[in-house]
Amino acid sequence: IDTYSTYNWKYSVLLWVGKSVWTNSVIVTDDVLNKIEEIKKDIPNNIDIITIQNEWKTARDATNMLLVNLAQSILIVFFVLALYLWKKDAFNTAFSIPLTLWLVFFIALILWENINRITLFALILVLWMLVDNSTVVVENISRHLNERINTWKTKLESVLEWVQEVWMWVILSTLSRLLAFWAMFAVWGMMWEYMWPIPKFAIIALLISLLIAFTINPWLSYSWAREVTESDRSNNKQNTSKYDIR
């Protein structure tokens, strides 16, 4: 032995524990600390096991903070939309947020991508963008469904009509955001090692939100609306009728 390690003026053995790839550092640290407590019961009294460096608490606190902010953002979006789009439309729009995030995590699991603080930051960064497409789609569908009492169109015809009006603009607006994040792929070197999850997961989330806006949101609007009857038209004495989905 050429060198000795000391801690508090006592000879010591330094042991570093690292996690494997694709494992949760918080869970691994909990298991290691629990194992240390078990070992302490079996070792002599003159031997101590001391943790001198533990980044688990910092990582856990930061992750929990991001998750709390994410949940708060979802609730804020729902209540704000409820003020302007009414309850069913607001739920239809806000529902796209957790659905998009769930699909992002599912795709990350399939691709064996690591979910860390940078990944969560990327999702929070595009959170307000995830409801943009759904808001445009749901509001326009709601307007067409509300006009059926005068246009004599069916639910399916009203839902399909919105596609002809805004599909191109929704795609172009999403494309402009994708190009903004795509520019971040030009970063190289050490900075790229930290930044690459941001454009990657942001682009995945935006594409999924676009898919949901063209599939799930129209289907929910169609399912929650009912066909207009002759009695609805004869009893329509106000601008707002009873048949719309709001």
For 182, other C-beta atoms within 10 Å of its C-beta total 13
Distance between the two ends of the chain, CA-based, in angstroms?
Answer: 78
Q: What is the pLDDT of residue 232?
A: 59
Give the span between the Cα atoms of 197 and 114, in whole angstroms: 9
Q: What is the pLDDT of residue 241?
A: 46
Q: What is the pLDDT of residue 49?
A: 82
Q: What is the pLDDT along the chain (246 residues), one digit of tens a residue?
A: 455 677 677 777 777 777 776 677 777 888 888 888 888 888 887 788 887 777 777 767 767 777 787 788 778 877 887 887 777 888 888 888 888 888 998 998 888 877 777 887 888 888 778 888 888 888 888 887 777 766 677 778 888 887 778 888 889 989 999 998 888 888 887 777 778 888 889 999 999 999 999 999 888 888 887 776 666 556 655 545 444 444
